[in-house]
Structure 1
């Protein structure tokens, strides 16, 4: 009895995008034409880059438990076919070749709804170009972060109750949403000895976020004392 894995993934957008819905329709359908049994591996919106292009602590396709299990299953010869929309759905960098090697060892064939270039040189060039583009994006992002740090700017997503100023450089109290006042209330309640559960019940802020606010209490209190917020 033959067996296939139908692999679904897209890099950006939302889980209900038309392109992902099209994958969910066409990829399993092709797998069912090829094999008697089909396992669907649906990553939804998920990066296609691996440790080849990302740091060890970033979200990576090779760190996904379902992908690691797939890699092992391919090596063990559990699948006759691995089916995807195209080769880039499997991976967008050199991790593709790790999947390919595992498939060769397990005598598994790759099948795609949209076939990749038949010319191997063209295929390899496209893979190299995608990796190079990602590398350049990482370098630009790191350079921008380094520049912000040298200027003493804040970076990253602002914590609860804070937002970027008009210049996009510093975190300042978010006055319009009222969240800054809530953050101050979280700090007051905690310093009064209230439990995280009580704080969550009274402020509507979940316990994890409340702890993060309290860990940054010096920053919140400094902003409050600066007179920026009345």
Structure 2
């Protein structure tokens, strides 16, 4: 029975949750009678097989150890975030004789130089498309900034106005709860006490307090 490891990560444009990726990997290895040693998970912390990521480093070390037969991932987008990483990874897999399997497409025949080259060229094409997409997104954000519009996901308690230009209090959402949380903190409550009372996580409460003046001004003006 083949000894394999799995790898999961959540890219910015991913619609496949980490838990679903793990489930797919387990289903695939069970179906193909593979012995799944463990799944290395970079979760939401990374957008690819990035050398700075601890779980990636562990998985890559296992590939280079020669102790495993295959790596199983959900889809080819999990392999690497860009052309350079994909090329390095494919060279590692070929050098150490480790197979690459995806839940969506099955085994990738990287032992065939032509197929390996196809995968690299595809990664190069996707990398260029991604670079253009990122540049367009940056230009769109800069255009909004130049016009004085808000951009990005509205903070908790806010929503975009009907024209999609400015953040305004979400009176049907959590804005009033956020105001109550601010008043609790100003009255001496700890973030943990706020969490117990209003179910707002301490990290979120910290971000709220960083925007305290924005919330209070919006309350007066909106």
| Structure 2 length-normalised TM | 0.76
SS at match of 1:61: coil
- Tell me, in whole angstroms, the C-alpha distance in 2 between the residues paired with 1:74 and 1:87: 17
**CA deviation map 1:27-73 (0-9, x unaligned):** 454462xxxx54242649x68xxxxxxxxx96433254322101122
2:189 to 183, 187, 194: 194
Comparing 155-164 and 115-124, the one that deviates more:
115-124
| Structure 1 length-normalised TM | 0.73
1:172 to partner: Cα distance? 0.5
Say yes or no: does 1:96 pair with 2:86: yes
Unpaired runs of at least 5, structure 1? 48-56
Corresponding pairs, count:
210
1:171 to partner: Cα distance? 0.8
1:13 aligned partner:
16
Unpaired runs of at least 5, structure 2? none
- Tell me, in whole angstroms, the C-alpha distance in 2 between the residues paired with 1:59 and 1:224: 37
- Tell me, in whole angstroms, the C-alpha distance in 2 between the residues paired with 1:166 and 1:207: 31
Mark the CA change 1:124 to 1:15 in structure 2 (over 3 Å): closer, same or farther: closer
1:72 aligned partner:
61
Mark the CA change 1:189 to 1:111 in structure 2 (over 3 Å): closer, same or farther: closer
1:54 aligned partner:
none
From the CA coordinates, give the structure whose radius of gyration is larger: 1
2:27 aligned partner:
25
The 5-angstrom pairing of residues 169-208 of structure 1 reads: 169-177=165-173, 179-208=174-203
The 5-angstrom pairing of residues 120-139 of structure 1 reads: 120=115, 121-139=117-135
1:79 to partner: Cα distance? 2.3
Contact 1:116–1:123 under 8 Å retained in 2: no
- Tell me, in whole angstroms, the C-alpha distance in 1 between the residues paired with 2:212 and 2:75: 49
